[in-house]
Structure 1
Amino acid sequence: MSVVEWPHRFLTLDDWAALPEDPEHRAEVVEGVLVVSPRPLFFHQRAVNRLTYWLDEQTSPEYSAMGEAEMIVATAPLTVRVPDVLVTLALVADENPARVSAEDVRLVIEVLSEGTVRTDRVTKFSEYAEVGIEHYWIVDLEDPASMTTYRLIDGEYENFGEHTGKVSLDFDGTPLTLDLDALTTRHAQRP
């Protein structure tokens, strides 16, 4: 384990960008404070990869899905979240940015894991609503895998459904099919 010299102040975007990469931990900044947690386990990573791929393949060409991409929620004080999956405009993704602004994100998916349940269901729920992210979906991998979908209506998230098994949804006029049972299995969804 190496020792890192941390700034003795709230982190800025420059401080954040200068942090060393750490493959064993996942980091975010919340109101200038660095928050570090262990990397998620294998099933969580498999679910994130599958959701990212399925969304990228099924959404309209004007959107792009990314897994574990940095998203700036606020600049002062700095809040940088790293959602499990986000969907942004393809024009933004095609610029190959280091991070995206929350204003360019249409959908965020968080996959619950040990240590993130309260953050995903309470803290990020309110943060994402405040910055106007239209869709927020929370996936729970406990058997049976389930997903709760929220949509921003008049500045607040409303529950648009709780799903298990094969799910058919509409995202911006495009039908999506997700097989929640296949999120952690060896074989991805099949037609």
Structure 2
Amino acid sequence: MTVEVHWPDHLLTLEDWIALPEDSSRSYELVEGVLVVSPRPVLRHQFAVWQLAAQLHPQLPVQLSVVTEAEVVIDAAPPPTVRVPDVLVIRDEALEDDLARVPPEDVVLAVEILSPGSRRTDRVTKFFEYAEAGIEYYWLIDLDEPASLTAHRLIEGDYELVAEQSGRATLDLTGTPITIDITALTSNRAGR
């Protein structure tokens, strides 16, 4: 049986992006109007996303919430860019408004977990896109042993390195200390 797939033959608008059919078999982002399709993350990556969100949630101030794989409209102007970070800390108003996609001004922290095929994009392209969009904190997590977290904070329009750690890390997030057990992101036996 042959399945015919129709791919866009033009730069997509934000309206085109919104009109795309839902498909959870792959990961999709929109970069300057170009549809970017990637394989779904492997189980270890998915486990790390879940563990990180579970660690963040109880430590956040009441005006912030954690979500996973939510769309962020980095730039709505044509040609638009829509990214889907692994983990986001957002302002509660965005969660209460039950938005389909989040504007960058509602994002406090974007986290990308490095994967084969995304390392350069996460370390270079998204690094500059998120800074330009005004997202205050950007964390990169590398699951290769030893698992590590690299944290950046937006200062005068550019990200500055504020931490690079393995094991346990305590980081400032809008004046709140947040402790992350980085080892637990790769093993359900860590910390037991």
Tell me which interval the TM-score lies in, with the shorter structure as reference length.
over 0.9
Give the equivalent residue in structure 2 for 1:26.
27
TM-score, normalising length: structure 1: 0.94
Which deviates more, 28-37 or 8-17?
8-17
Q: What residue ranges of structure 2 are gaps of 5+ in the alignment?
A: none
Residue 185 (structure 2) pairs with residue 183 (structure 1): yes
Distance 2:20 2:105 in 1: 24
Give 3-state SS (helix, strand or coil) of 1:9's partner: coil
Which deviates more, 179-188 or 53-62?
179-188
Distance 2:59 2:3 in 1: 42
| One-letter code aligned to 2:128 | S
- Per-residue Cα deviation, 1:122-160 (whole angstroms, up to 9, x for no partner): 000000111111100000000110000001111111100
Give the equivalent residue in structure 1 for 2:57.
56
Is the Cα contact below 8 Å between 1:50 and 1:188 reproduced in 2? no
Give 3-state SS (helix, strand or coil) of 1:46's partner: helix
| One-letter code aligned to 2:97 | E
Give the equivalent residue in structure 2 for 1:84.
86
Distance 2:65 2:144 in 1: 28
Distance 1:23 1:127 in 2: 25
Residue 37 (structure 2) pairs with residue 36 (structure 1): yes
Give 3-state SS (helix, strand or coil) of 1:4's partner: coil
Q: What residue ranges of structure 1 are gaps of 5+ in the alignment?
A: none
Distance 1:147 1:123 in 2: 18
Distance 2:99 2:46 in 1: 22
Give the equivalent residue in structure 2 for 1:118.
120
Distance 2:102 2:163 in 1: 28
Give 3-state SS (helix, strand or coil) of 2:144's partner: coil
- Superposition deviation, residue 6 in structure 1: 3.2
Change (3 A) 1:19 1:53: same
Aligned identity (percent) is 53
Distance 2:68 2:10 in 1: 30
Change (3 A) 1:189 1:2: farther
Give the equivalent residue in structure 2 for 1:74.
75
Matched positions, count: 190
1:108-147 alignment runs, 5 A limit: 108-147=110-149
Give the equivalent residue in structure 2 for 1:159.
161
TM-score, normalising length: structure 2: 0.94
Is the Cα contact below 8 Å between 1:70 and 1:80 reproduced in 2? yes
| One-letter code aligned to 1:177 | T
Change (3 A) 1:87 1:2: farther
- Superposition deviation, residue 5 in structure 1: 2.4
Distance 1:175 1:165 in 2: 16
